[in-house]
Amino acid sequence: MRSGWVGSLLAFSAWLAGCGDSSASSTGGGGSGAENAGGSGAQASTGGAAASGGAPPAAGGGIAADYPQDVGIEAHPDVLFADGFEDYAVADDLQGPWDAVYQLSQLRIATEAPNVFGGARSLEMNVPQQDNELSNAVDKTLLEERDALFLRYYSKFQPPYDVVGSSHNGSSISAHYFIDGQATPGVPADGVNKFLVNLENWRGEAATPSPGHLNLYVYHPEQRSQWGDHFFPTGTVLPNSSQPFDFGSDFVPRPDILSELDRWTCYEYMVRANTPGQRDGRVTVWVDGELVADFGNLRFRDVASLKIDRFGLSFHIGSNPAGPTKKWYDNVVAATSYIGPVAAR
């Protein structure tokens, strides 16, 4: 282990994306391109290498390459949902295209140029200075559940983002983690009930620079903690970091990623559920189009009926005593094949 930052982890906290004031539509919403989606996505051509268990797709390709500035990307047959937040005047307009909107009073459609990546608008999430837990989120449910999903988005942290401990501050892809609209934190995955994979930053101690190290927060049948595990690109798994996890013979340890504050960054990850009875599940992560983490040999489910049914964006904190902070999101695309960064005109 290259530093002591992982050794300071004392506890894990629950993801309470359903807390506070929330509203959700019951119709399943109508994201752009939702009706065009077909199949499970596991055999999709552009991102199919990762989805079939081989080498992940190389940087520079993907759906977005053919749609400069993402214009018209919702028309691609592999795209399930696309949102650049251009059609919203106020945060209340998020209801409908997104199926669940949490902490509406803390959300805003930003229009100032530095806080917009593409077009004229982005989604802003605010966390006030407070000791209590708060969970901002927007979630989308899939009309057709999937064996595999790619999620790409741009995001930016407002500095200094001085949050230590629990903070689910990125995105999520999940299978039946929500029951009747409510999250199920603290209930371990058992291969039949659910799985969850969040892409987020973890800062376990104040000495670690903000916003912390990029990692996956995972509920899976072999999780070590009741509250889920953290997978880091190096192969370190928390809790019990001294205990190795078998990510398969093709696993390549990669350097930890410390995201940069006040900078728009492109994040994309693929979650592919395993074939029941086999360890061919996989999660692959790209940052700005570069492969930064790839975890194979995963078991997410023991029954074929457990499929991905939801994805979302979040800005959750266990507590935020240091001062108010914000995060922005833009250019969100969910698809059944590799998407890639926004292409220039």
| DSSP secondary structure of 275-296 | PTTS--EEEEEEETTEEEEEEE
pLDDT at 148: 98
Would you say 225 and 176 are in contact if contact means Cβ atoms under 8 Å apart? no
For position 61, what pLDDT does the model report? 81
Which helix or strand (DSSP H or E) is residue 83 part of?
strand 79-83
Percent above pLDDT 70 for the chain:
83
Domains and CATH numbers, the chain: 6-335 (2.60.120.200)
Q: pLDDT, tens digit, for every residue of 267-276?
A: 999 999 999 9
Q: Between the CA of residue 341 and those of 66, 122, 223, what are the distances in Å?
A: 11, 16, 32
* 42-47 long-range Cβ contacts below 8 angstroms, 24+ apart: 42/147, 42/148, 42/272, 44/78, 44/148, 44/335, 44/336, 44/337, 44/338, 45/337, 46/78, 46/337, 46/338, 47/150, 47/270, 47/335, 47/336, 47/337, 47/338, 47/339
The pLDDT mean for the chain works out to: 86
User: How many angstroms separate the CA atoms of 317 and 20, rounded?
Assistant: 13
Vertex 194, ends 189 and 200: CA angle to 5°?
A: 85
**pLDDT confidence of residue 51:** 40
**Looking at residue 57, what is its pLDDT?**
52
Instruction: Read off the amino acid at residue 71.
Output: V
pLDDT of residue 345: 82
What's the pLDDT score for residue 147? 98
Low-confidence ranges of the chain (pLDDT < 70): 1-60
Q: What are phi and psi of 10, to 5 degrees?
A: -105, -30
- pTM of the complete model: 0.85
